[in-house]
Amino acid sequence: MEVNNVELVMSAVSPTQYPTTGYPEIALVGRSNVGKSSLTNVLINRRSYARTSSQPGKTQTLNFYKVEEDLYFVDVPGYGYAKVSRQEREKWGEMIETYLTQREQLKGVISLVDARHEPSQEDVQMYQWLSYYEIPILVVATKSDKIVRGKWNKQESIIKKKLEFDKKDSFIMFSAQTKMGKEDIWKWIETQAFG
Ligand code: GTP
Ligand code: MG
């Protein structure tokens, strides 16, 4: 998709703040600092529209990015950030769960993992949880520029095995730096959002 127009329309914590336009939505989940905002920026052809940082745990709300008059990307705050309190974590869990289980417009979730490592227990939990709710999942292994090309296949196997990856889901190797995988991710998004 050719993207010219993007707008952060809402930073929401509760359903009353979600946009009411009814466009399809694609959410991005993954642990803090994995590269959700960076992927968003690549998809919308912006250098730094979605705020990225070296400081994990920056994104605390559901950020709805309207792409043209077609769909929303929903940047979900990252999990696994050790410095947040238990209370904050519970609040986070509730916000995410409400959104992911009750949002009719949600057409699919992009679950980001770090291409270099075996998925964490939280990555596995998130994947299994999304599967349970029968939400279409695209696993994106990001930061692949940080490993040599010869290791991509092996890392893909390691990641899929740990997640107990289901063949009905999709998997794409990605790098926000080289933009590898961008077109395939867009194809998946368009299929989910518009059939
Ligand atoms: P939170 O909002 O805190 O949950 O983090 P996030 O998942 O949005 O991560 P973000 O996009 O802010 O990226 C975190 C750091 O990783 C930044 O320093 C990015 O520049 C870097 N980064 C993200 N993607 C890539 C990638 O594909 N390759 C490389 N080399 N660095 C990346
Ligand atoms: Mg972010």
* Whole-number pLDDT of residue 57: 58
28 in any annotated domain: yes
21 in any annotated domain: yes
The pLDDT tens digits of the residues spanning 141-192 come to 999 999 999 999 999 999 999 999 999 999 999 999 999 999 999 999 999 9
* Whole-number pLDDT of residue 37: 87
Residue 58 and residue 174: Cα distance in Å, rounded?
22
Which residue, judged by its Cα, is nearest atom 24 of ligand 1? 35
37 lines ligand 1 (CB under 6 A): yes
Strand order in the sheet with 71-75: 6-12, 62-67, 71-75, 25-30, 106-114, 137-142, 170-173
* Whole-number pLDDT of residue 56: 58
Please state, as a whole number, how many other Cβ atoms lie within 10 Å of the Cβ of residue 14: 12
145 lines ligand 1 (CB under 6 A): yes
Ligand 2 centroid – CA 114 distance (Å): 14
* Whole-number pLDDT of residue 82: 62
85 versus 44: the higher-pLDDT residue is 44
80 lines ligand 1 (CB under 6 A): no
The pLDDT tens digits of the residues spanning 52-73 come to 655 655 567 899 999 999 999 9
ipTM above 0.85, yes or no: yes
Give every CB contact of residue 128 below 8 A, 6+ residues apart in sequence.
Answer: 163, 164
Residue 174 and residue 107: Cα distance in Å, rounded?
21
Which ligand lies nearest the alpha carbon of 176? 1
* Whole-number pLDDT of residue 162: 98
11 in any annotated domain: yes
38 in any annotated domain: yes
**Based on the structure, what is the number of domains in the chain?**
1
pTM, entire model: 0.94
Instruction: State which ligand 1 atom lies nearest to the alpha carbon of 30.
Output: 7
Q: Which CATH number belongs to the domain containing residue 29 in this structure?
A: 3.40.50.300
CA dihedral 17, 40, 166, 141 (to 10 degrees): -140
CA atoms within 13 A on the CB side of 119: 27
99 in any annotated domain: yes
1 in any annotated domain: no
Please state, as a whole number, how many other Cβ atoms lie within 10 Å of the Cβ of residue 154: 10
26 in any annotated domain: yes
56 lines ligand 1 (CB under 6 A): yes
The pLDDT tens digits of the residues spanning 77-135 come to 887 766 678 888 888 889 999 999 999 999 999 999 999 999 999 999 999 999 999 99
174 in any annotated domain: yes
> Can you give the residue range of the structural domain that contains 55?
6-194
Which ligand lies nearest the alpha carbon of 30? 1
182 lines ligand 1 (CB under 6 A): no
